[in-house]
């Protein structure tokens, strides 16, 4: 009988704590979360394996609003696997090296745009090197031209 009462009390206390947390969370809006370019619910953080995270970037204010339409900010998580995939696709590593030009749908982009780009949205990738890249785009280190599928 005592063990049943202890279990029941534990259940009631757990339920009240969970309900109390849900009510307090609703008063504090959470930022949008993107992992390797895919948007997830904020609660995913409790499931992330820290050993698999390569980097985390936080965008706030106007930058988050302009790039993502997110009033409460954005958290960009890049996994180690995505970093490896990006490097294999031609991303140059190291701050002291010259970067190649990245163009997505006709607009100049940066490496942050590659992080958030969903691979499923990519229609084609073209790499231009040498004199062609220098003549057409004034890009001595080459050009990566990405065309996405139009929604």
- DSSP-derived letter for residue 138 is -
- Which tens digit of pLDDT belongs to each residue from 70-104? 899 988 888 877 766 666 555 444 444 567 888 88
Instruction: State the pLDDT at residue 98.
Output: 60
Residue the block writes with tokens 């030009």: 101
Instruction: State the pLDDT at residue 54.
Output: 83
Task: Kindly state the helix (H) or strand (E) to which residue 61 belongs, with its residue range.
Answer: helix 61-68
Spatial CB neighbours of 35, under 8 Å, sequence gap ≥ 6: 44, 48, 77, 78, 79
Instruction: State the pLDDT at residue 14.
Output: 52
Question: How many C-beta atoms surround the C-beta of residue 115 within 10 A?
Answer: 20
Q: What is the pTM of this model?
A: 0.42
- DSSP-derived letter for residue 56 is E
Domain boundaries, the chain: 29-88, 94-151
Spatial CB neighbours of 40, under 8 Å, sequence gap ≥ 6: 33, 34
What is the Cα–Cα distance from 102 to 12, expressed in whole angstroms?
A: 56
| Of residues 120, 125, 144, 150, the one with CA closest to residue 39 | 120
């Amino acid at each position: 009988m005592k063990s049943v009462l202890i279990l029941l009390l534990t259940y009631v206390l757990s339920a009240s704590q969970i309900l109390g947390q849900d009510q307090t969370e609703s008063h504090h809006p959470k930022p949008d979360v993107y992992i390797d370019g895919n948007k997830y619910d904020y609660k995913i953080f409790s499931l992330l394996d820290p050993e698999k995270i390569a980097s985390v970037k936080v965008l706030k204010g106007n930058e988050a609003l302009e790039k993502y339409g997110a009033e409460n900010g954005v958290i960009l998580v890049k996994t180690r696997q995505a970093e490896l995939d990006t490097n294999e696709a031609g991303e140059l590593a190291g701050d002291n090296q010259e970067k190649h030009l990245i163009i997505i749908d006709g607009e100049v982009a940066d490496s942050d745009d590659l992080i958030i780009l969903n691979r499923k949205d990519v229609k084609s990738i073209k790499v231009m090197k040498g004199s062609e890249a220098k003549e057409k785009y004034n890009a001595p280190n080459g050009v990566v031209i990405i065309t996405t599928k139009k929604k």
